A and B are shown apart, each in its own frame.
Chain A
Amino acid sequence: MGALIGKKVVQLAAVLLVVTFFSFLLIHLLPGDPAATIIPLGTDAQRTQLRKDVGLDKPLVSQYTRWLGKFVRGDFGRYYRQFGGEPVRKRLSQALPVSLQLLVYAEVLALVIAIPLGILAAYRAGTWVDRFLSTGAFASLAIPDFVLALVLIFYLGVKLKWFPVLGYVHFGQSPTEHFKSMFLPAFSLALAQAAVYMRLLRSDMIATLQEDYILMARSQGLPTWRILLRHALRPSSFSLLTVAGISVGTLIGGAIVIEAIFTLPGVGLTIFQAISERQYIAVQACVAVIGCGYVVVNFVVDLLYTALDPRVRHAA
């Protein structure tokens, strides 16, 4: 077990190096002089400052190690403006919790929707319930998240006024308002994921329900719900877990648009704005943080997988 985690940590470190390196390269993929591109309207003194900050005159590898050293210590560079320019870290530390909350809520919501429906569809496989759910899943896959967002905004926000259509409320400020403000964005992101998860769980669950140990559990007179939840769900959820981990990438992509629509001050909106302002140092940092986050999430999923399946745990 320990050796397995050790091996995985080494892999993780290697992937993180690659991810950060490509994020770092972003600046160098810009056409022309990066300093001139990032500061089109500024003074030469500002451009010189930027070159010094980034170390543009040094060889690429030493630039990278320097950048990485700062990145690891939480120094993500800064915005370049005529007056000062705040550290990127300050922006990110405000934006990251918002995005993380959005992603976690979306993921949880997707699973909360998908698991019961997936179980139901598998249990009633081939019946009208199953067909109804499958059709619904197909339909929700076909709706882009931002379209769903707009529809939800119109009906649940503007017409019925059940949920706010924009803005972010801190949890500490009012937990109720916080969840209300996060519901529409999280749901917009979650629905398509829920459809994917549901279909996946359904097919895995149908396979699991054919297993002898399910028959054994039935022959012992266990109630159906107990068989479905305690016997069938866990062995059916391995691929669901893996896909849930991978789809964090999809969610991050969707979150950028969703944050812009709902004016949630998250990383997506920060990137969106940094790109339009040519704050590529900030873009670089955001991309690196998101990339690392994605890699780490999948690392954690890998570990969870081990926790979920004792066979993998003991095989190591």
Chain B
Amino acid sequence: MRNDAAAVGELLDPVGRSDFDGPLLDVRDLTTHFQTPRGIVRAVDGVSFTLEAGRTLGIVGESGSGKTVLSRSILGLSPRRQLVDPQGQILFEGRDLRPMDEHELREVRGRQISMIFQDPMTALNPVMKVGRQIMESLRVHFDMSKADARERAIDLLGQVGIPSPGVRVDEYPHQLSGGMRQRVMIAIALSCEPKLLIADEPTTALDVTVQAQILDLLGRLQSERNMAVVLISHDLEVVGGRADDIAVMYAGRIVEMGPAAELFKATRMPYTDALLRSVPNIEDPPHTRLLAIGGRPPDLVSPPPGCRFNPRCPRAGFRCGVQEPPLAPDDDNVHHIYRCWYPVGGPTGPEAEAAEARPRRVEH
């Protein structure tokens, strides 16, 4: 896919290259561990994936699965002083972001890769006019004049569907509705035409009616700009219709990954299956769904031995608590990979182990 000569060339190139022909983002064996008073938290523990330009990767998992840490690790936004021995590579257009210092990363952030966050109320500065918040990125990355930046900010507010943007540009976040604020955040994130957008639960804090609008807007902007998107959510359904590929994370690891349609059609990992079968609950806030399984994600300071999902897995066998399954391709589709000894569609762990044990007992 790439040769060393090309890699050297990319390193010399200060800004991302458009003539690079590999994947836009190539994350290899990414490890993000934090030092805490309780011990080392293995928030992201050996994650690899690739993302081509213009495509969408959905990352799905419960809270605490490591998906947010993963997204922040890509931009080097994790608290540096707590990081323990960061490993792996984050190749963006072939350049590794992992060893970059703050100064180099600033050239990438906002300009090449942008992020939007879950709660537009807290992610927008409450004491700054929204226009100024958009203008700041433009002025920093493009050295624009104030007047030009303002014009562009109004233009962007229009593009993200905010009515009378000429007025809104001078308003404060608290004067806008939640949906509006999320549109503002998208405008900020897209102001410098990044090649990759990381959207961390972009609709979780919004009303259901608005969620679809925002996702549709994101989709439109993505195709207009041929922008790649990493769409992070705890809700498979949100991701399902919009992602080309989906990665399911559990306890800091990818447990199943593949083309969206394949994943839905031939779910292998019991955890993915549980996510799919989770049901909306009327009494809970609108965007939460009840997992079909009980229990909570494991403590990332001391993850359970064997398969990390095994304590909660309805299908787990004896082996699951001893030996961790590798991330291996499915027999039917090499692009569909998962970690499971006893995948959905086959016998459960106890069934399989009973079947194996019986002949042995006969021998004796």
Contacts and interface: CB of A to CB of B under 8 A. Distances in A.
A215 B102 contact: no
Interface stretch (A23-31, A58-66, A145-153, A217-225): A217-225
B269 interface: no
B127 A314 contact: no
Contacts of A277: none
B115 interface: yes
Contacts of B108: 221
A216 B123 contact: yes
A221 B107 contact: yes
Given A215-B123, A218-B109, A221-B140, A311 B115 contact: no
Contacts of B114: 219-220
B127 A235 contact: yes
A216 B106 CA distance: 13
Given A216-B125, A220-B136, A230-B136, 20 more contacts: A212-B119, A215-B77, A216-B188, A219-B110, A219-B114, A219-B115, A221-B107, A221-B111, A221-B140, A222-B136, A226-B136, A230-B128, A235-B125, A235-B127, A309-B127, A310-B127, A310-B172, A311-B126, A311-B127, A311-B172
A41 B122 CA distance: 70
A212 B136 contact: no
25 contacts: A212-B117, A212-B119, A212-B122, A213-B122, A213-B123, A215-B72, A216-B115, A216-B117, A217-B125, A219-B75, A219-B110, A220-B109, A220-B110, A220-B140, A220-B189, A221-B137, A221-B141, A224-B102, A226-B136, A226-B140, A308-B127, A309-B126, A310-B172, A311-B127, A314-B175
B72 to A, nearest CB: 8
A223 B106 contact: yes
B136 to A, nearest CB: 6
Contacts of A224: 102
A221 B127 contact: no
Kindly state the interface size class of chain B when it binds its partner: 20 to 34
A308 B105 CA distance: 32
B185 interface: yes
B109 A216 contact: no
A221 B110 contact: yes
A218 B77 contact: yes
B130 to A, nearest CB: 11
Given A216-B185, A221-B140, A311-B172, A231 B107 contact: no
A211 interface: yes
A234 interface: yes
Contacts of B188: 216, 220
B68 to A, nearest CB: 11
Kindly state the interface size class of chain A when it binds its partner: 20 to 34
Nearest to B113: A219
B51 interface: no
A287 B164 CA distance: 55
A212 B128 CA distance: 14
Nearest to B185: A216
Nearest to A216: B123
A32 B333 CA distance: 104
Nearest to A233: B127
B111 A215 contact: no
- The residue among A211, A217, A231 with the most chain B CB atoms within 10 A of its own CB is A217
Contacts of B111: 221
Interface in B83-139: 102, 105-111, 114-115, 117, 119, 122-128, 136-137
B124 A213 contact: yes
A234 B127 contact: yes
B225 interface: no
A310 B117 CA distance: 23
Interface in B50-97: 72, 75, 77, 81
Interface string A196-224: 00000000000000011101111111111
B123 A235 contact: no
A222 B117 contact: no
A309 B124 CA distance: 14
Given A223-B106, A310-B172, A310-B174, A216 B124 contact: yes
**Considering the complex of A and B, which 6 residue pairs feature the smallest CB-CB distances, nearest first?**
A221-B109, A221-B110, A220-B110, A212-B122, A212-B123, A219-B115
Contacts of A314: 172, 174-175
A235 B126 CA distance: 8
B109 A219 contact: yes
Contact of A223 (B124, B140, B174, B189): B140
A310 B77 contact: no
B7 to A, nearest CB: 24
A29 B124 CA distance: 57
Contact of B128 (A126, A221, A231): A231
